[in-house]
A and B are shown apart, each in its own frame.
Chain A
Amino acid sequence: MGSFDPLIASGLAAAIPLVYAALGELVAERAGVLNLGVEGMMLVGALAAFAAVAGGAGLPAALAASILAGAAAAAAFAVLTLTLQASQVAAGLALTILGTGVSAFLGRGYVGFRAPATFDDLPVPGLSGLPVIGPLFSLNVLGYAAIAMLALTAWFLFHTRAGLALRAVGESPAVAHALGLRVTRIRYAATLFGGAMAGVAGCYYAVAQFKMWQEGLTSGNGWIALALVVFAAWRPWRTALGALLFGGVTGFGLYLQATGVHFSPFLLGSLPYLATIAALVAVSASPQLLRRHAPASLGKPFFEGD
C-alpha cells in the first residue's frame, strides 16, 4: 500500500475544474439566473484554449481565449433569456447542445496531438513534500487561482455592496428594481461571469489536465458542477467541499481497485453520483434550510418594463 498522497492529489486535480464551473454558476444563480448550459460553455472554452496554444499563442492568451469564448456563449444565453425573456431552462439546454456540437465541429483539426504549451505543476518548495496537505502545494497556476477565486467570490458576495445588490436581484428583482438597481444589467454581468468561469474550467481540461482536444472532452462534468451548486446551498466555500468530495470519492473507488480490494466497478463507478445524490438529499432534508439559501426568484424572468 502506497501513501494516500497520490489519492489526494488526483482528487484535487479532479476538483479544480468543478470549482471553477460551480463558482461561476453559483454567482449566476445568486442573481436569479439558472443557466443549464455549463457543459456547453466549458466545451467552447476548452476548444478556444486548445486552439490558442495550438496556434502558438501561449498560455495567457489561451486563458483569455477560454474566458472570452465562455463569456460569449453565456452572452448568447443572456440575450435570449434576459432581453428576449425566453425560458432559462430551455435556453440553457440548447446552449449545452449547441456548445457540444459547435466545439466538435470547429475542433476537427485539433484532434490527435498534444497541446504544445501546458500549465504545469508548480510545487511550493518545502511545503509540497508535506504529508496529506502536500498535494495542495503542488498545483498548477489555475489550481492556485481556483483557491483565490473561491475567497474572492465569497468576499464579493457577502462583504461588498455590489455583492449585496447581486443577491438582492436574485431574491426579489421587483424590490431591487424599486430600489433603483439595474436588474437586467446585473443579471447580464452575473451570467457573463458564469460563462467566463465555465470557460476557465474548460481551459483547465484542455491545457492543464488532459493537454489535448477531443470531442466531448468534459464528459458530463458540467452537470456535476450544476449539482454542486445545489449541494453547496449556494455557498462558495461549500462548492469546494462538494467538488473535493466528488473528486475524492471517484479517486477512492479507483484506489480500492488498484490495491486489490474486490468490489464491483459498476458500484464504484456510481459512487460519486450516489454520494452527490445523498448529499443533495441531506441538504434538502431540511426544506427550511434549502429555502433560506436558494435565491427566491431563481430561474424566473424579470421584465423591467421601462
Chain B
Amino acid sequence: MKLFKLLAVAAVLISVGAAAQQPLRMGFVYVGPIGDGGWTFSHDVGRKSMEAKLKGKVQTTYVESVPEGADAERVVRDLAAKGHQIVFTTSFGYMDQTLKAAKSFPKNLFYHATGFKSSSNVFIYNCRMYEPAYLAGIVAGHMSKSGTLGFVASFPIPEVVRNINAYTLGARSVNPKITTKVVWVSSWYDPARERQAAETLIGQGADVLLQNTDSSAVLQTAQDKGVYAFGWDSDMTAYAPKAHLGSAIEVWGPYYTKVAEAWLAGQPFKENIWWGMKEGMNDFVSVSQIVPEAARKQVAAKKAEIVAGRFHPFTGPIKTNDGAMRVPAGKTLTDKEVDAINWYVEGVEGKVPGK
C-alpha cells in the first residue's frame, strides 16, 4: 500500500510538473491486438490520428491484448503510475477495473469505452453503430434479390440486437417484404465459426450479409459464394472488393483529439458522451460502385439527415416481430430505451436468445 501511495504521489508530482513544459502523456488499453483489422485496429487509427494532429504536444503509449478482468486493473494502474495523465480503456469489460484503479489516481483522468459507470475522474464514451447499420440496410434492401438478409451476430446484448434491428429497418424502408435471418456464433472473434455461419445463411437463401463480429471472415465468405456483405468497425474494402458494398465504421480520432486539447487548454473534458454520425464518431464509407446510383443517393441523403439530427432509425411506427406495436408513429426511442433494446423488429426471424 505504501508503495502505491508513493507511486500515486509521484504520478501527481510528475503530472503537475509536466503540465507546464512536457507533452501530455496518454495511455491506451486495448482488448485485442492492433492487428485485428476491426475494433482495436480502429481505436489505434484514432490514437495515431490524434498524435499526428497534436504533434509534439502529446505522447502516447498503448498496451494491447489486455484480458478483461483483474489483469486490466494492473495495466491501468501501471500506466497512471508511469505518468500518463489520461488513460483510455477501450473495452466494456474494463469497467470496474478502470473505476477501481482511478480511485488511487484522483488527479488523472480515465475514459472508458462502452460502459455505463462513471465517477469524478472516470468518464464514458460510446458510439452509435446502429446508424451506419441502418444505412447498410438501405443498401441491402436495394441489392437483395432473394429478399432474405443474413446477420452473423456475436452475443445477444442490446448493442448487437439494436444493430440487427437497424439493419432490418433500413432494408425494409426500401423493400417492406425483406426478412433477416440471424445466426449467433457466441464469440467476438472466431473466423472458422463466423465463416460457417455465413455459409449457413447463404445456404438458406440470404444474399446480403452483415456481421457484428470482429473478423473479416463473413465478407470473405460472401465473395467466395458470389453474394454481398459489408465491412464492420473499419473499412474492409481490400478484403473482398467484389462482395464489399460499404463499411460501417467507428472514427475515434476526433474524440481523442478533443480530450487531449481540452486538457492542454487547462479545462479537462469531464463529460460522458454517446456520439454518432452527427459528431463524426460513426460513418458509413466506401460505398461500392456496384450499388445503383439511386440507392447511393438515397444513402447519402439519409446520412445527411442523420448528421443534421433530423432522422433517428428508431422512430415509429415500429412493430416487434410478434406483431406488437412497440414504438408508435411519431415517437422516437430515447437513448435509455435504445440502450436496452432486447426485442426484434418486424422482419427479423426468430427470437432474441434468452428471451
Interfacial chain B residues near A104, Cβ < 8 Å: 33, 35
Instruction: Contact check, B350 vs A254: say whether CB atoms are below 8 A apart.
Output: no
Interfacial chain B residues near A219, Cβ < 8 Å: 187, 189-193
Would you call A59 an interface residue if the criterion is a C-beta within 8 Å of the partner chain's C-beta atoms? Answer: no
CB distance from A98 to the nearest CB of B (A): 15
Interfacial chain B residues near A259, Cβ < 8 Å: 204
Instruction: Contact check, B216 vs A7: say whether CB atoms are below 8 A apart.
Output: no
Instruction: Contact check, A254 vs B35: say whether CB atoms are below 8 A apart.
Output: no
Point out which of A5, A6, A7, A114 has the most chain B C-beta atoms below 10 A from its C-beta: A114
Beta-carbon nearest neighbor of B199 in chain A = A10
A262 partner, pick from B33, B41, B202, B350, beta carbons under 8 A? B350
Interfacial chain A residues near B354, Cβ < 8 Å: 264
Interfacial chain B residues near A217, Cβ < 8 Å: 191
Interface on B for A, CB 8 Å cutoff? 32-33, 35-37, 41, 150, 156, 181-187, 189-193, 195-197, 199-206, 215-217, 220, 223-224, 238-241, 349-351, 353-354
Instruction: Contact check, A108 vs B238: say whether CB atoms are below 8 A apart.
Output: no
Measured in the bound complex, the distance between the Cα atoms of B225 and A5 in whole Å is 14
Would you call A257 an interface residue if the criterion is a C-beta within 8 Å of the partner chain's C-beta atoms? Answer: yes
Interfacial chain B residues near A205, Cβ < 8 Å: 191-192
Would you call A258 an interface residue if the criterion is a C-beta within 8 Å of the partner chain's C-beta atoms? Answer: yes
Instruction: Contact check, B351 vs A265: say whether CB atoms are below 8 A apart.
Output: no
Would you call A305 an interface residue if the criterion is a C-beta within 8 Å of the partner chain's C-beta atoms? Answer: no
| 28 A–B pairs (Cβ distance < 8 Å), ordered by A | A2-B204, A6-B199, A6-B202, A7-B200, A111-B35, A111-B36, A112-B238, A113-B239, A114-B220, A114-B240, A209-B195, A210-B195, A211-B220, A214-B36, A216-B33, A216-B189, A219-B189, A219-B190, A219-B192, A219-B193, A254-B196, A257-B200, A257-B350, A258-B181, A258-B203, A265-B156, A266-B186, A269-B187
Instruction: Contact check, A114 vs B241: say whether CB atoms are below 8 A apart.
Output: yes
Instruction: Contact check, A112 vs B239: say whether CB atoms are below 8 A apart.
Output: yes
B184 partner, pick from A2, A214, A257, beta carbons under 8 A? A257
Instruction: Contact check, B182 vs A257: say whether CB atoms are below 8 A apart.
Output: yes
Interface of A is mostly: helix
Interfacial chain A residues near B41, Cβ < 8 Å: 111-112
New A-B contacts (7) at CB < 8 Å, excluding given A9-B203, A265-B186: A6-B204, A7-B203, A107-B35, A111-B35, A112-B41, A114-B238, A205-B191
Q: How many residues of A contact B (CB 8 A)?
A: 42
A251 partner, pick from B196, B204, B353, beta carbons under 8 A? B196
Interfacial chain B residues near A266, Cβ < 8 Å: 186, 353
Measured in the bound complex, the distance between the Cα atoms of B150 and A216 in whole Å is 25
A254-B239 contact given A214-B35, A214-B216, CB 8 Å threshold: no
Instruction: Contact check, A210 vs B201: say whether CB atoms are below 8 A apart.
Output: no
Would you call A212 an interface residue if the criterion is a C-beta within 8 Å of the partner chain's C-beta atoms? Answer: yes
Interfacial chain B residues near A250, Cβ < 8 Å: 193, 196
Interfacial chain A residues near B217, Cβ < 8 Å: 210, 212
A111-B37 contact given A221-B192, A259-B204, CB 8 Å threshold: yes
Instruction: Contact check, A258 vs B204: say whether CB atoms are below 8 A apart.
Output: yes
CB distance from B220 to the nearest CB of A (A): 5
Interfacial chain A residues near B32, Cβ < 8 Å: 215
Interfacial chain B residues near A7, Cβ < 8 Å: 200, 203
Interfacial chain A residues near B239, Cβ < 8 Å: 112-114, 212
Instruction: Contact check, A14 vs B238: say whether CB atoms are below 8 A apart.
Output: no
Measured in the bound complex, the distance between the Cα atoms of B221 and A211 in whole Å is 9
Would you call A43 an interface residue if the criterion is a C-beta within 8 Å of the partner chain's C-beta atoms? Answer: no
Would you call A156 an interface residue if the criterion is a C-beta within 8 Å of the partner chain's C-beta atoms? Answer: no
Measured in the bound complex, the distance between the Cα atoms of B185 and A210 in whole Å is 17
Interfacial chain A residues near B186, Cβ < 8 Å: 265-266, 268-269
Instruction: Contact check, B353 vs A264: say whether CB atoms are below 8 A apart.
Output: yes
Would you call A180 an interface residue if the criterion is a C-beta within 8 Å of the partner chain's C-beta atoms? Answer: no
Measured in the bound complex, the distance between the Cα atoms of B192 and A259 in whole Å is 20
Measured in the bound complex, the distance between the Cα atoms of B202 and A7 in whole Å is 10
A13-B199 contact given A250-B193, A266-B186, CB 8 Å threshold: yes
Instruction: Contact check, A113 vs B238: say whether CB atoms are below 8 A apart.
Output: yes
Instruction: Contact check, B349 vs A260: say whether CB atoms are below 8 A apart.
Output: yes
